[in-house]
A and B are shown apart, each in its own frame.
Chain A
Amino acid sequence: MRLVVDLGAGLGMESSSAELALSPLDGLHRALGARMVPFAGYVMPLSYPSGILAEHRACRTHAALFDVSHMGQAELLGVGGDAALEHLVPGDLLGLKRGRQRYTLLTGHAGGILDDLMVARLAPERLFLVVNAANKVADFARITAHLSHGPHLVPRPDRALLAFQGPRAAGLLGEISQGFTALPFMGVAEGEIAGINCLVSRSGYTGEDGFEISVAGAEAEALARRLLALPGVVPAGLGARDVLRLEAGLCLHGQDIDATTTPVEADLAWTIAKRRRATADFPGARPILEALGAGPARLRIGLRLEGRAPARAGAPIIAAGEDIGHLTSGGFSPSLNAPIGMGYVVTPAPEPGARLAVRVRGQDLPAHRVTLPFIPHRYAN
């Protein structure tokens, strides 16, 4: 056999092992027996000895802990940081309240998605950003280049990022901290977990309730060990994370969205704030707003395959014998016990329920369009 691991964007990116960065939790991963793989310039855990299915199940039914320290973290400090960043994204950042976080996109002049990111307001003049690992250098350079006098961007490579996800995550976190379990979905707060200073947001990339916890790299292992010591919490790797986010219908930048896809095509038009549609002053506003009015040329949709053979990224999507697009993510959903995928099709897109096929190794496997997400989100209120 010849093994092909499909973890999408970032896995196995060309880089010699000498150039790969280590997470502050590298020693812990190895002590836990993780299978380590190169990902976006880092060596990160793909899975632990219990396996991806067990890690996925723990996250859907109980609580799982992910190390996502490869993500780029930065603070945007000073008067006018929100207004300056608005020149690069279609989201409403002026309206972002203190203690709240928002999902937004860095767009290019042709309307493509340069990256997707989270922006939180920790204080009136203090924003906190989390961007994708593979894009962090370019993102931070782009943002810095757009800042003139006043606000400045401070990357925080000294900080680790943990994701504590699952229906029991809030109850368990409440056993070793105070205040965080009262956070609403996309709320953020600073405080202590087991005596360690943390920046906590109620968010994640799994479709479950949960928290993303930014912590000083030097204290990350102590925090991770404390969370893993809570009853039933299991460590989970990038393999489980990718399956969970696909089931939740969430895009992976570099795979489902990139500089060649617009927010309208990606079905992310909800991220374009009403006020910003009126002001139309973000990069790519013209092509994006035109596509909003006239409809995009292609659209991201979800598919569920019949049978059990998974289809991977790149597999053609077929309607009535015609090639209408291809998958950008695909895999086996343990929750549905069926193969699923998402990808772009030419518009008008087939309606939900429409019978389609996905071509795998020359065979047209029956499939149908389903509404995203594949698994309902179960976020906190």
Chain B
Amino acid sequence: MPETRFTKDHEWVRRDGAIFTVGITNHAQAALGDLVFIELPEPGRSVEAGEACAVVESVKAASDVFAPMSGTIAAVNGAIIEDPALVNRAAESEGWFFQLTPASPEAFEDLLDATAYRVLLETP
């Protein structure tokens, strides 16, 4: 049964068996506005939790995307490089960024659950 967790930096992580898929939240895409450019990490790259590993640029805003957990980049979503607006349309589904093989899968449990993330968004 897939489960989705969140970071305070507005990334989501979906665990589906051994596959951990990462993207930015719907809140994040709305804050950025119309996306025009995305840079993704090379598959095989090792990343530390909290390390900047992707870049998103909208018409007037830029942002780093951080690795939510330490691990190795297993796959990236080429569709969002071709069509960055896919992230605006489907941030938490087809607009995923990369898949990660975590160094310690238990780190997933330390991420925010949906309720905690919603509280974070509602806290001014």
Contacts and interface: CB of A to CB of B under 8 A. Distances in A.
Nearest to B54: A1
Interface in A37-51: 46-47, 51
Nearest to A46: B60
A5 B61 contact: yes
A75 interface: no
Interface string B35-76: 011010000000000000001111111111110000000000
B11 A332 contact: no
Contacts of B9: 1-2
B112 interface: no
B60 A331 contact: yes
Contacts of A242: 60
Interface string A137-149: 0000000000000
B105 interface: no
Contacts of B64: 1-2
A239 B36 contact: no
B61 A309 contact: no
B37 A4 contact: no
Q: Could you say which interface size class chain A belongs to?
A: 20 to 34
Contacts of A228: none
Interface in A331-345: 331-332, 334, 339
Interface stretch (B13-21, B24-32, B114-122): B24-32
A332 B63 contact: no
B60 A5 contact: yes
B36 A1 contact: no
Given A1-B56, A331-B59, A51 B33 contact: yes
Nearest to A4: B62
Contact of B59 (A239, A309, A361): A239
B37 A332 contact: yes
A1 B11 contact: yes
A134 to B, nearest CB: 18
Interface residues of B, number: 24
Contacts of A6: 60-62
B28 A332 contact: no
B57 A3 contact: no
A308 B65 contact: no
Given A1-B9, A1-B56, A310 B61 contact: no
Secondary structure type dominating chain B contacts: strand
A361 B55 contact: yes
Contacts of B36: 308, 310, 332, 334
A118 to B, nearest CB: 25
A310 B37 contact: yes
B68 to A, nearest CB: 11
Contacts of A2: 9, 63-64, 66
Contact of B63 (A1, A47, A334): A1
B59 A53 contact: yes
Nearest to A7: B60
Interface in A1-37: 1-7
A184 to B, nearest CB: 32
A70 interface: no
A1 B24 contact: yes
Interface in A298-338: 308-310, 312, 331-332, 334
Which 6 residue pairs across A and B have the least CB separation, nearest first? A1-B63, A53-B34, A332-B36, A52-B59, A5-B61, A239-B60
Given A3-B28, A3-B63, A332-B37, 20 more contacts: A1-B9, A1-B11, A1-B32, A1-B64, A1-B65, A3-B61, A4-B61, A4-B63, A6-B61, A46-B60, A47-B33, A52-B34, A239-B60, A243-B60, A308-B37, A309-B39, A310-B36, A331-B59, A332-B36, A339-B37
